[in-house]
Structure 1
Amino acid sequence: MGAIKISPDYNWFRSTVPLKKIIVDDDDTKVWSLYDAGPRTVRCPIIFLPPVSGTADVFFHQILALTGWGYRVITLQYPIYWDLLEFCDGFRKLLDDLHLDKVHLFGASLGGFLAQKFAEYTHKSPRVQSLILCNSFSDTSIFNQTWTANSFWLMPAFMLKKIVLGNFASGPVDPVMADAIDFMVDRLKLLSQSGPAVGSVKRELRYGYMDGHKHCDCSTAMTEPVFDQSALSTDAKEEMYKLYPNARRAHMKTGGNFPYLCRSAEVNLYVQIHLRQFHGTRYAAIDPSMVSAEELEVQKGCSAPSTETEES
């Protein structure tokens, strides 16, 4: 059994934060699973979108830390959507159901791509206040470099899972990163053959790219490159830099594919720093009464990832 799954933090999270299930479409098989923690008075929370192999609980470190500082945090697990527009419409309905006008989105890998597509989809009536993109991509044509990419949408679930697992780090890794990989493999195994991650990715790896004229309506876009081994290619990272030339980057030396699990303290501090610019506005993701305590935590933070702003 993996170390994370039996850790006190994970068990405390599972025993204190209930998993909710919400249906917003006419099709009652499309069920959103989510954790919603922190003050409900916050009307512009940060929502975490997982990678293809992830369930809503992969961000449990972020829920525990950020809600402790006064933030409202929502983490999601997607229903089965076979079309990007269908996904975006379903996500919009979910925000309506939660009575959320605008949100901050943290997207990891596929979750980052979907976050960008949703910002693009709602650009005429923006629903995304800011983006944090972790090991993400902007154009699914990068997957066409492999012979399997064009046939992903035809593959049975077990083959797709094998390919996804093949992207995880191989060879020696430090124990914390190894635990993160084990946990993500376990999460992937929990997804059924027609599970949400499999359904979300099959067709979208055939085509999909960001419209540069529509994606920039959110006030801030941030990328979070990890410099050690990860499934994201250098070309994919460079494309992201071109798309968001003014984005502030958090440079993390290590973290692999899942820094939010194995380098959670750095990621949490980075998220705090990003969200501070919205304190005192209607787009604050934190309870105003908790701001002073949160500022102290930021000041005490150590080993923070370095950040910089790239100018075009």
Structure 2
Amino acid sequence: MSYISDLSQSQEYLSFRSNVPLKRIVVDSDNTKGWRVYDCGPKNVKSPLICLPPVSGTADIYFKQALALSAKGIRVISAEAPVYWNVKEWCEGFKKLLDYLGIIKAHLFGASLGGYLAQKFAEYTHKCPRVASLILCNTFTDTAVFNNHESAAIFWMLPGLVLKRMLMSNFGAEKVDPEMVEAIDFMVERLESLPQTELASRLTLNCLKGYVEAHKLSDIPVTIIDVFDEYALSNTVREELYKCYPSAKLAHLKSGGNFPYLSRCAEVNLHLQIHLRQFDDTNFSSSDRPLVNKI
């Protein structure tokens, strides 16, 4: 890897990588396709928090959530998909991954494309629900916002360098604090590590014509985590997400940019804990710890 960020050399990240193994789990008939998974916390929990990365992210971008929440008894899984070229394929693969891991229902935390795919999976399984709840961060409900439907057909043939430059143009590094600069550098490093086929497939998923049928998700508890400073998506996209989930709990961060789970990890982790707390002492608890105040 040509680029090395400060965050990837931090004691926290190095501790994560040395203590949590990266697993490659093959669930499709094609043995070349393997999900990359980090699994932290108590393995007896059958409704964990599963984190899904954006286009430019790898599974380890959620290491701050994995370390902090697993220390509190919450099972946290970060899952990075192999190459899929349409949303239905991705949903089928993710369902097989849940089956392989013995997960009945999961709490899905997704950023950008990860949030969109989390919603599409909840929609895909709505007749036989596999999603206990959703936490959506800087995400969208309709791929029309990218005005790139035609481009989706040619991403597979574009060089990796071109795809990386397209993505990095959205990162932005103006008027940001040191934590946000650190987060951007780390995400650039992750992006540099991705091969052309993986980037092309993710951008294709991101831009293929599609939208979330939110009425099918009306029974699923939702928390929306948003930043109030600049990030890649517009305010119109944010408002559309709110309209789709009128009963959602809103968690607003004053700042954080595109990657608040890295730059504002303490705040994001707190909102994740608050969201998951409603499931304590139920069949869909993400933690193996009993309620402190239980009588």
TM-score norm. by structure 2 comes to: 0.94
> Matched residues in 2 for 1:204 and 1:110: separation?
6
> Matched residues in 1 for 2:218 and 2:89: separation?
21
Alignment map for 1:202-221 (pairs within 5 Å):
202-218=204-220, 220-221=221-222
1:183 to 176, 181, 186: 186
How many Å apart are 1:233 and its aligned residue?
0.7
Q: Secondary structure at the match of 1:229?
A: coil
Q: Secondary structure at the match of 2:223?
A: strand
Alignment map for 1:250-269 (pairs within 5 Å):
250-269=251-270
> Matched residues in 2 for 1:251 and 1:9: separation?
26
Code of the residue aligned with 2:261 in structure 1: it is Y
> Matched residues in 2 for 1:43 and 1:288: separation?
13
TM-score norm. by structure 1 comes to: 0.89
- Counterpart residue number, 2:281: 280
Contact 2:113–2:206, Cα closer than 8 Å, also in 1: no
- Counterpart residue number, 1:45: 48
Extract unaligned runs of 5+ from structure 2.
none
Extract unaligned runs of 5+ from structure 1.
296-312
- Counterpart residue number, 1:9: 12
- Relative to structure 2, which stretch is displaced further, 207-216 or 180-189? 207-216
Code of the residue aligned with 2:257 in structure 1: it is G
Alignment map for 1:41-120 (pairs within 5 Å):
41-120=44-123
Q: Percent identity?
A: 52
Code of the residue aligned with 1:184 in structure 2: it is M
> Matched residues in 2 for 1:134 and 1:28: separation?
32
How many Å apart are 1:203 and its aligned residue?
4.5
The reply to whether residue 169 of structure 1 matches residue 167 of structure 2 is no
Code of the residue aligned with 1:200 in structure 2: it is R
- Counterpart residue number, 1:154: 154
Contact 1:83–1:204, Cα closer than 8 Å, also in 2: no
- Counterpart residue number, 2:200: 198
How many Å apart are 1:160 and its aligned residue?
2.0
Contact 1:153–1:205, Cα closer than 8 Å, also in 2: no
> Matched residues in 2 for 1:276 and 1:99: separation?
22
How many Å apart are 1:149 and its aligned residue?
5.5
How many Å apart are 1:170 and its aligned residue?
3.1
Q: Secondary structure at the match of 1:124?
A: coil
> Matched residues in 1 for 2:256 and 2:219: separation?
29
Q: What is the CA deviation profile of residues 279-309 of structure 1, one whole-angstrom value per residue up to 9, with x for unaligned ones?
A: 00010000124x439x9xxxxxxxxxxxxxx
Alignment map for 1:15-34 (pairs within 5 Å):
15-34=18-37
Q: Secondary structure at the match of 1:137?
A: coil
- Counterpart residue number, 2:233: 232
> Matched residues in 2 for 1:212 and 1:67: separation?
31
Contact 2:109–2:115, Cα closer than 8 Å, also in 1: yes
